């Protein structure tokens, strides 16, 4: 089995849409280890709808839209990281984190600790908006300090070539492409945008496909 982790510099930056595109492109299975907050669709349902690929059940499905440790505490639940090892699947597994990697799972463990334990290569999704240089470079530093292998940065949003180049230069990291905002988001439009804009060859090499 090959596994790859998708995380982001922050919440609501488009990493679930990116994860859906990646899951479809790799003919993979998707996993969201925990979901905090349930609106019309969970992230797993969004990815399955946009990718046409299966999603595994969440380890924890919580109601409050907040950091997982706060959502869990509100329901009298303690998240046990030992229950969140990556499951074995046929083919590739795409695992998506919640928010950024410094999000707490409980009062002792961060998502970053979980990524480090998994040992799978990581794609960092980043906005192209103001502030992204600081957020992205700090996130890269945190991932590397924890011993995580960073495949590269995937940008999401309008083109900001100078900003993207600066991040990759100072972060010494591969530019995996930029996924634009997609009008009429659907499986077909996402697949087309992903194929056009994202460097799948570098990603496949990282997971030895």
Indicate which residues carry an active-site annotation: 32
What order do you get walking across the sheet with 29-31 strand by strand? 29-31, 92-100, 2-8, 122-127, 150-156, 175-179
Closest CA relative to residue 140, chosen from 106, 108, 117, 166? 166
- Considering only CA atoms, which of 108, 90, 113 is closest in space to residue 33? 113
What CA–CA distance (Å, rounded) separates 85 from 43?
Answer: 19
Q: Which residue has the tokens 């999603």?
A: 55
Tokens 């570098």, residue located = 202
């Amino acid at each position: 089995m090959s596994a790859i982790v998708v995380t982001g510099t922050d919440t609501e930056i488009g990493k679930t849409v990116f994860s859906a595109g990646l899951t479809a492109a790799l003919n993979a299975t998707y996993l969201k280890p925990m979901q905090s907050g349930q609106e019309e669709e969970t992230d797993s349902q969004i990815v399955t709808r946009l990718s046409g690929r299966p999603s595994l059940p969440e380890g924890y499905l919580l109601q409050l839209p907040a950091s997982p440790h706060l959502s869990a505490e509100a329901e009298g639940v303690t998240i046990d990281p030992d229950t969140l090892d990556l499951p074995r699947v046929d083919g590739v597994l795409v695992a998506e984190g919640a928010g950024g990697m410094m999000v707490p799972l409980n009062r002792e463990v961060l998502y970053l600790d979980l990524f480090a334990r998994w040992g799978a290569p990581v794609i960092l999704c980043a906005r192209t908006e103001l502030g992204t240089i600081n957020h992205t470079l700090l996130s890269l530093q945190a991932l590397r300090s924890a011993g995580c292998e960073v495949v590269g940065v995937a940008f999401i949003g309008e083109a900001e070539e100078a900003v993207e180049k600066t991040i990759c230069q100072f972060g010494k990291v591969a530019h995996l492409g930029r996924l634009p905002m997609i009008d009429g988001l659907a499986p077909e439009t996402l697949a087309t945008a992903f194929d056009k804009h994202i460097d799948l060859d570098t990603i496949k090499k990282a997971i030895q496909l």
